[in-house]
Structure formats: C-alpha cells, structure tokens
Structure 1
C-alpha cells in the first residue's frame, strides 16, 4: 500500500488506494511552517486495517522531514496524537 501526496497552494492530501477505494487525510497550510490536519476519511470497506493510522503517521513523518508543525483539528488525527506521545514533537497546540 503506497501513500501518495498532492499539494496545492492552500493545502493538500495524503491518499492511499486499495482496490477501488481511496482513503485520505487532508490538511490546510496555515504558513510555510504550519499545517492544520482537518479531515481523515476511510471508506467502510477499508476500515479495521489501520489505514487511517498509517496516513496519520505518514503526515507526522512528513512534518518532521519538512520541519513544520501540525495543528490536529481532525478528531481522528487528534485521537491518534493522544495515543502516540512520541508524535508531540511536531504537534502545535
């Protein structure tokens, strides 16, 4: 399963395609050093496979590599941050 990244001027998305289904985590870019994760969508057919968590972890790694912080507006992403204290280095309150 490969995660792809699309980014526009004001935001972007990380997506994973399995068969005919697409899961995605979207964000808005607040500044060059800050993104706001605003939505995670995993179709019912893809649930229970850890795909949402993989997308969240990928966003965290991208933030580390890019040197930016994440505001966790999305309830799913926020719950993942609570489960992964090791991600707090890239989380902005």
Structure 2
C-alpha cells in the first residue's frame, strides 16, 4: 500500500491518499504563517488506522516544513508524539523567543 501525501492549502491541511485514490484516508490540519506551521489536528479514517497513514502524514508534513524553512509547533497530540519520537526533526521545533516575567 502506497501512501501519497499532498498539501491542500485551500483546506489548510495535508491529505493522505492510498494507492493513487482520490479518497482522503487521513489529514493533518495546520495553521501557517511566513515562519511557522502549527499542526493542530490529525485524523485518520478508522478503516485505514494502523497502516502508517498518520506516520506518513507527520513525516511528509515535517519534511515540507523543513524544505520551506518553517519552524513547527505541534499542538496536535499525534504530531507532538511523532516529533518527540523522531529526533531527526528536533531542529524544527518552535521555541518561543519571548519570556514571561513575574
């Protein structure tokens, strides 16, 4: 089974499709600025769970963020766990530059 991930900017999300199908097997919703992409929600169709769709979405969207020079804010629990388990993407993690003082 081949998972293809495409950016669907009109819907503010990356979409995963299986074996060239037009059907969306899963998606990762995002909010994007000129320097940051925040992954806010990931959803995989229950019929396709456990087949690597979520991992493909995370990997491809992080690779795209790197290619675009964006920092990543993983708000979505799935994206956050993926980022934590894959240190090769640690350099993309957004770090706030502002400090809150007491």
Bin of the TM-score, shorter chain as denominator length = 0.7 to 0.9
* Deviates most, 73-82 or 15-24: 15-24
What's the counterpart of residue 14 of structure 1? 14
2: distance between equivalents of 1:86 and 1:21?
27
1:21–1:59 distance in 2 versus 1, CA, 3 Å: closer
Q: Which has the higher strand share?
A: 1
| TM-score, normalisation: structure 2 | 0.80
Equivalent of 1:28, from 16, 22, 31? Answer: 31
2: distance between equivalents of 1:5 and 1:54?
13
Q: Which runs of 5+ in 1 are unaligned?
A: none
Post-superposition CA distance 1:19-68 (Å, at most 9, x none): 65520011011x20101100000011101111101100011100111001
By how many angstroms is 1:17 displaced? 2.2
| Alpha-carbon contact 1:24-1:55 (below 8 Å) kept | yes
2: distance between equivalents of 1:6 and 1:21?
11
| Alpha-carbon contact 1:21-1:46 (below 8 Å) kept | no
